Structure 1
Amino acid sequence: MTQFVSIVTPVHDTALSFLPEAFASLRAQELPDGWEWEWLVQVDGGKQTDVPVDIREDSRVKVSDNRRGGPGVARTLAWGRSRGELVKVLDADDILPAGGLARDIEVMETHPSVGWTVCRVLDLMPDGSLRHNTLGDPEAGLLARGNLYAYWKSTHRPQVHPASLCVRERLIAEAGGWMALPASEDTALLMALDVMADGWFIGETGLHYRKHQGQTTAHPDHRSGAEWEARMAAIRKHAEALARRHLIT
């Protein structure tokens, strides 16, 4: 019986030009026997036809669109169309190195109690060079439930890169999908997952995270101000409600 990993990708106008590179990196992935991928591309505030025709014609790709709702809304709508038992995040402007998906699947199959994985990330700079992301990677292996959230509460930094997330679909359903935030919705989901289930950090590089001026994290409100304070409060309230349900204090 075929098992699916569903890759969810929100895209808006400034990132459309990067989609072909993301698609090429996805096509190059080699999966374990019995596994296939599907790609759920969600055009936020645009049209399906904004996506290049060669991508839309691939039978493994499912493209849809929605009125502009922001990245959290687009991710949740893409997930709503998925059929995989595993869900993998891939931003439209990022690239999956060889072996990235296979390592996610291997961890999930080998460790059934693990609910999600993240991995080492390299920043893809505008000049094409790769630099190690500076979040401060933990040791490879088990990420005990609640530890990442404790780190985030004291720093408001996630320690690992949420753009590299792979998660069991049932946990996204329990968390309610991605929060409808203008940014940090990926961090919000990661913090929710961390208080719900153990995770796993993969020490090999599994994502090239593109740095460019059009990305959400380049916005001046991303790291300070009233919007930032409200985002952080929403992330905390959501995670702590789930922590109480899962008996973490």
Structure 2
Amino acid sequence: MRRRITVITAVHGPSAHFLPDAYKSIREQDLPEGWEWHWVIQQDGQSDDVAPHVPLDDERVTFRQGRPGGPGVTRTIALAHADGEYVKILDADDQLPLGALARDLAALEADPALGWATSRVLDLLPDGSHVGFPGDPEPGAIERGAVLDHWKANGFRAQVHPATLFVRRDLLLALGGWMALPASEDTGLLLALNATSRGWFSSEVGLLYRKWPGQATSQATHTDAAERDARMAVIESRARALASFNWLYTATG
């Protein structure tokens, strides 16, 4: 019986035209013998402008629509179709470099004490060039609480990127999926994961993070000071509450 990684992608109309590039990057992933991927594309809304960009002729692809709720709600509802042991996050406008899935899988399969994995990111600029940035941690295990400490001490910037998350499905479900926030919902998940489990960082590039004018993080509402302060406060409070329970995740089976 083949084992499965579910790749979850939330998409809305403006980013739908990037889906073919994301699909190509998934198809080019090599997995170990006995493993396969399942791509779950969940539309944030029910318009007709996404489906034309979805490879509906591939049985490994599931496409669903739902009422608008933002990326966190969209990804969480997509978990209804996540039937694999692991979940990989891939935003509609981003791409996976060669080997990304296999590296994440190898790290977690080798150590049941690890709940999640992240990797190095390169920005993908409109001209097709790639740009890196300093500040990555040393490759290897990330201890509980380390992400929160760094995030708090560095202006709410984590040392690992939440868009690169590869996570055990049961742990993701136990934490309730993504936070119900208008933005930073993936950071909230990352800190919750780090409060309850050890993680992993790979210094190999695991994501090409597209920069383009339509992305959510480039909008003025993303940096509204009052909302940002509220988001950061609830993200921190959740992570510290989870840590106080002293629940340490270890994979079973």
TM-score over 0.5 (shorter chain): yes
Structure 1 length-normalised TM: 0.95
**Closer, same or farther: CA 9–169 of 1 in aligned 2, 3 Å:** same
Aligned residue for 1:228? Answer: 228
The separation in 2 between residues aligned to 1:79 and 1:230, in whole angstroms, is 27
Asked if 2 retains the 8 angstrom alpha-carbon contact of 1:86 and 1:166, the reply is yes
Asked if 1 retains the 8 angstrom alpha-carbon contact of 2:9 and 2:40, the reply is yes
Asked if 2 retains the 8 angstrom alpha-carbon contact of 1:13 and 1:46, the reply is no
Query: Within 5 Å, which residues of 2 pair with 1:152-231?
Result: 152-155=151-154, 156-231=156-231
Residue type matched to 2:102 in 1?
A
Aligned residue for 2:16? Answer: 16
Shift of 1:246: 2.0
**Closer, same or farther: CA 219–54 of 1 in aligned 2, 3 Å:** closer
Shift of 1:50: 2.3
Shift of 1:109: 1.0
Corresponding residue SS for 2:158: coil
Unmatched segments (≥5 aa) in structure 1: none
Runs (4+) of structure 1 moved beyond 6 Å?
Answer: none
Shift of 1:54: 5.8
Percent identity at matched positions? Answer: 49
Deviates further, 159-168 or 149-158:
149-158
Corresponding residue SS for 2:103: helix
Cα deviations by residue, 1:114-138 (Å, 9 ceiling, x for unpaired): 110000110000111000045x200
The separation in 1 between residues aligned to 2:45 and 2:136, in whole angstroms, is 35
**Closer, same or farther: CA 20–53 of 1 in aligned 2, 3 Å:** closer
Residue type matched to 2:42 in 1?
Q
Deviates further, 173-182 or 89-98:
173-182
Shift of 1:222: 2.1
Aligned residue for 2:251? Answer: none
Query: Within 5 Å, which residues of 2 pair with 1:1-249?
Result: 1-47=1-47, 50-52=50-52, 55-134=55-134, 136-155=135-154, 156-246=156-246
The separation in 1 between residues aligned to 2:240 and 2:80, in whole angstroms, is 25
Unmatched segments (≥5 aa) in structure 2: 249-253
Shift of 1:234: 1.5
Structure 2 length-normalised TM: 0.94
Asked if 1 retains the 8 angstrom alpha-carbon contact of 2:16 and 2:49, the reply is no
The separation in 2 between residues aligned to 1:117 and 1:247, in whole angstroms, is 19
Residue type matched to 1:19 in 2?
L
Shift of 1:35: 0.5
Shift of 1:210: 0.2
Corresponding residue SS for 1:150: helix
Asked if 2 retains the 8 angstrom alpha-carbon contact of 1:71 and 1:181, the reply is no
The separation in 2 between residues aligned to 1:48 and 1:196, in whole angstroms, is 40
Shift of 1:221: 2.9
Corresponding residue SS for 1:9: strand
The separation in 2 between residues aligned to 1:143 and 1:73, in whole angstroms, is 27
The size of the alignment, in residue pairs, is 247
Give RMSD over aligned pairs: 1.5
Cα deviations by residue, 1:218-245 (Å, 9 ceiling, x for unpaired): 0123234111111111111211121111
Shift of 1:52: 2.8
Corresponding residue SS for 1:23: helix
Cα deviations by residue, 1:37-78 (Å, 9 ceiling, x for unpaired): 001100001347722366122100110011110000001011
